[in-house]
Chain A
Amino acid sequence: MFNFLPMPATIVDIRQLTDKERLFTIRLDNDRGIRHRPCQFILISLLGIGEAPISISSPPVDSGRTFELCIRAVGNLTNAMHRLSVNDRIGIRGPFGNGFPVERIEGKDILIVAGGLGLAPLRSLIKYVLQERGRYGRVILLIGTKRPGDILFKEEVLKWEEDPAIETHITVDVAEPSWQRHVGVITGLFKHVGIDPFKTIAAIVGPPVMYRFVIKELLAKGIFEGNIYLDLERRMRCGIGKCGHCQINGIYLCQNGPVLSYLEARKLQEAL
């Protein structure tokens, strides 16, 4: 039987990523660590305030007992989270959801499409794939944000740009004069990358409006519907497939998602 007891944890590090986002490093009191798969999420519990679902940004095998959460201050709980400091105590429930099928896609080329805050969950996949680099073919990363200042994990992204292990392309909606990279919507980046549609697995996370356009582009390139994976965000509340907030037609995203292939998602009218 399941109860709602959060696991006690401590904030061990906080880094300001942009104006609105901070990266929190969390350590659980227990010695097990969080033991997640890329693109799973947890529920942060602040006693007296409530709970909110947050994707795990760090890869599964990183630094043992800690994991990282990239949090934008946008709601009650996330704003409260931004008021906390190192050594403050929080509660964690999870991890929840299915996560990304990293075993199934071994040997394939991976095309990762990250719009805005979508890079937060995808970073766990990117770092996992880079750690297990030998198991995968090409790794292509497309990043789109509003402005250059909004790019998450900037130092890492700059490092990825230099890294031959990963082909990184970045675009912004609104550029500044000093901006040397692409300008425009994320689908504009597709003309710069040649892909083998029979070998490529796509992973997409971004704002709701982005999915349809990116999927259209990928289908046009000939990628099979079952090889396009979407990590969908909803208002996950309980994590046990009961409370109803994350329901998309007949499925509960907190249990059967958040990662769905387009083959599954296109049958759900409410998904996209």
Chain B
Amino acid sequence: MDVTIQSNDVDRFIRGLLLYYDVIAPVARDGRFVFERIDDPSMASLKYDTTLLPPIKWIYPNNEILLEFDLKDITKTEVVAQSRKQVLTFVHPCDINAINLMDEVLAEEPSDVNYLTRRQSTLIIGYECLGPCRENILCFDKGYHIAYRGFDLFFTDIGGRYYVHVATDAGRAMVEGDGIFKKAAYDDWKDLMRARAERKKGFNKKAVEGDIGMLSHFLKEAYNADEIWEAEGRKCLSCGACIIVCPTCYCFDAVDEVCPDMEKGVRYRRWDGCQLRGFCKVAGGENFRKSAAERVRHRVFKKEVYLKKRFGRSGCVGCGRCIDSCIAKISIIDIFNRVMERARRNV
């Protein structure tokens, strides 16, 4: 059953959450926003555009320890997979959709125990986007500006108060009790419908021209289109910014670190990615994805062709972070448009 909360009661709600959970919220920082663990409700910004890093990084953190070991005795090696109870708050639909996809990817057998452990102790509060949050996004093209599942609570701003969709038992537990939330009435629901009608007006400009449903097919046809990949490859500095900020990038490396006492150590997971030069290099010296052009193409294909084929939907949720973070100004929107343009030309 859905509820509502007055805008000025949100602080009280967060204060309540802080008693039981680590609360991760969008926080303003140097003109942009980041998902951070907060200890005071005033730190959270409900109105924010895309954060620098996606919230999934709290479920799939960098430098996560996988094993603890004793250098003298291998039988004392222990698996580390633990998590504190956390709530990711005010997560936009694009990021919720990304987490939904990663749930499937990392739960596919053999599943990833560290991700699943953290995921199971994570609650998610969604926050509806009623219009585009910034330039260079393509969530609307993909239908990823709306989230249908993957949250416990879902907030929609209906003017002075929020309509809160309660999606799970855990979500119900969060809104019950202290009288902050009121049962949603007919008028609230009408306001929700009105807000959603406004959303339709807000999201009105597609970033990619043409039928996005055909993109995967057109990409496959453009596999050898050097005019696209060589051109983008020449721009690419192979810095890996795009893969670090992407909410559906999950490639990693496992690295050992030994304590200076030379007795104990850890094996941890470090984010890694296909745009870095050495990603596919083997010890013998062979590099299986040598050129930046091949690497750029692989990133685009991984999102739009390979993940789509395996999991039935695109791996690019349209958040636009890779575009914002690229100092060489490579734009996945631009690439998609050129692929579509090429397809139109070749018909």
Asked if B289 and A235 sit within 8 Å, CB to CB, the answer is no
Asked if B67 and A5 sit within 8 Å, CB to CB, the answer is yes
Total B residues in contact with A, Cβ cutoff 8 Å = 53
Q: Which residues of A contact B189 (CB under 8 A)?
A: none
Pick the contact of B258: A48, A75, A233 (CB < 8 A). Answer: A48
Q: Is A147 an interface residue (CB 8 A)?
A: no
Q: Which residues of B contact A221 (CB under 8 A)?
A: none
Q: Which residues of A contact B265 (CB under 8 A)?
A: 47-48
Q: Is A6 an interface residue (CB 8 A)?
A: yes
Q: What distance in Å separates the Cβ of B266 from its nearest Cβ neighbour in chain A?
A: 10
Which A residues between 3 and 20 are near B, CB-CB below 8 angstroms?
3-6, 8
Asked if A91 and B66 sit within 8 Å, CB to CB, the answer is no
Q: How far is the CA of A91 from the CA of B77 in the complex (A)?
A: 10
How many residue pairs at the A-B interface have CB separations less than 8 Å?
123
Size bracket, chain A contacts: 35 or more
Asked if B282 and A235 sit within 8 Å, CB to CB, the answer is yes
Pick the contact of B71: A3, A48, A248 (CB < 8 A). Answer: A48
Pick the contact of A4: B267, B272, B281, B302 (CB < 8 A). Answer: B267
Q: What distance in Å separates the Cβ of A251 from its nearest Cβ neighbour in chain B?
A: 8
Q: What distance in Å separates the Cβ of A93 from its nearest Cβ neighbour in chain B?
A: 11
- Known contacts A48-B265, A74-B284: does B69 contact A244 (CB below 8 Å)? no
Asked if B113 and A2 sit within 8 Å, CB to CB, the answer is yes
Q: Which of A49-57, A101-109, A126-134, A161-169 contacts B (4 or more CB under 8 A)?
A: A49-57
**Most chain B CB within a 10 A radius of its CB, from A3, A74, A90, A250:** A3
Asked if B252 and A47 sit within 8 Å, CB to CB, the answer is no
Q: Which residues of A contact B294 (CB under 8 A)?
A: 270
Q: What distance in Å separates the Cβ of A262 from its nearest Cβ neighbour in chain B?
A: 18
Q: Is B46 an interface residue (CB 8 A)?
A: no
Q: What distance in Å separates the Cβ of B44 from its nearest Cβ neighbour in chain A?
A: 32
Asked if B81 and A245 sit within 8 Å, CB to CB, the answer is no
Q: Which residues of A contact B250 (CB under 8 A)?
A: 242, 244
Q: What distance in Å separates the Cβ of A64 from its nearest Cβ neighbour in chain B?
A: 21
Q: Is A249 an interface residue (CB 8 A)?
A: yes
- Known contacts A75-B283, A250-B305, A250-B309: does B254 contact A3 (CB below 8 Å)? no
- Known contacts A50-B256, A52-B283, A249-B306: does B79 contact A3 (CB below 8 Å)? yes
Asked if B256 and A238 sit within 8 Å, CB to CB, the answer is no
**Most chain B CB within a 10 A radius of its CB, from A47, A238, A240, A242:** A47
Q: How far is the CA of A58 from the CA of B306 in the complex (A)?
A: 35
Binding site for B on A (CB under 8 A): 1-6, 8, 29, 47-52, 72, 74-78, 89-91, 207-208, 233-235, 237-238, 240-245, 247-250, 269-270
Between-chain CB contacts (< 8 Å), 5 pairs = A1-B116, A5-B67, A48-B69, A48-B71, A75-B284
